[in-house]
Structure 1
Amino acid sequence: MPTTTPPVTEASAAQLKSLGVQIRIRRKALGVSATAAAEAAGISRVTLHRVEKGEPSVAAGAWGNVLAALGMVWQAHSAGQLADVASERQDRKGWIPARVHLHDYPQLRSLAWQVHGTETLTPMEALGIYERNARHLDAQAMSADEQDLLDALRLGLQDKHPAKETPDGV
């Protein structure tokens, strides 16, 4: 007789969903199909889909197999360590990455719909896309990380970004 799934707290469900999203992003970044990833993990494609959705009823072994197949590892933190990780992210405010990964910044990804064949942009390209499409930017939907990136790009690259020239005497 099958056992019932124990109740899952909201915090646990959110963590599983987040891990599932990270797994999906990693699989896509590697260019691995769902079928190939599932075969490499020794699970069905349906189970992989359930892992990527963050379903808590999927066996821990399946989660572990998927992580291993994609070159990822489990990592556990205590609540105090999570606060340290959050403060570490705060220390990166004003930091500009060498390459801007579109999957990390949903608003940029939606503005860069015309960019094909790459998942990363240079900081100058990212700033250009943000500025050219500013009227389409949903600032309220931006995560704090994405807002920090945009602020850092504007602050660090504004003087390097070509300004519109005006004719003399105008």
Structure 2
Amino acid sequence: MNNSFLTQQLDLGTKIASQRKALGVRAQSAARSAGISRVTLHRIEKGETSVSLGAYLQVCHALGLHLGILAADEGQPTNQLTPEGTRIRIGDYSQLTALAWQLDVNTLITDEQARGIYERNKRFLDMQQIDSHERALMQRLIAEKGMENLLV
């Protein structure tokens, strides 16, 4: 393998670790959510080449990360943050709290991260428990971020 590939894999591992830590997710919880062992997650975060691409993708999906080629297909830059100050407190929304059970209720996330949580876990949404405040958030995310697959 050439050095460029190894550097990119190490960078990917570093970005995965940074995202997990920024979200305040413990390694054990992230691994369980991705369907891999904690040891495999540790190896991924170190950028080891012996870990399968599928395991890397599972962790990226669990943490709401997208590879650049996927983001380019969607017309969105990878890991685009909303303007400073636009943050959502997980505990302010009952269904978001239930879907992001591994995160502290005081965790602040971006619109993009909230959209990812709703979309990845839409099968677990309890539509009867969505209050008007959370419904307004979801409708705003649909309008601004393209959550067309969520029917609210």
TM-score range, shorter chain: 0.3 to 0.5
- The two structures have a TM-score, normalised by structure 2, of 0.46
Q: Highest CA radius of gyration, 1 or 2?
A: 1
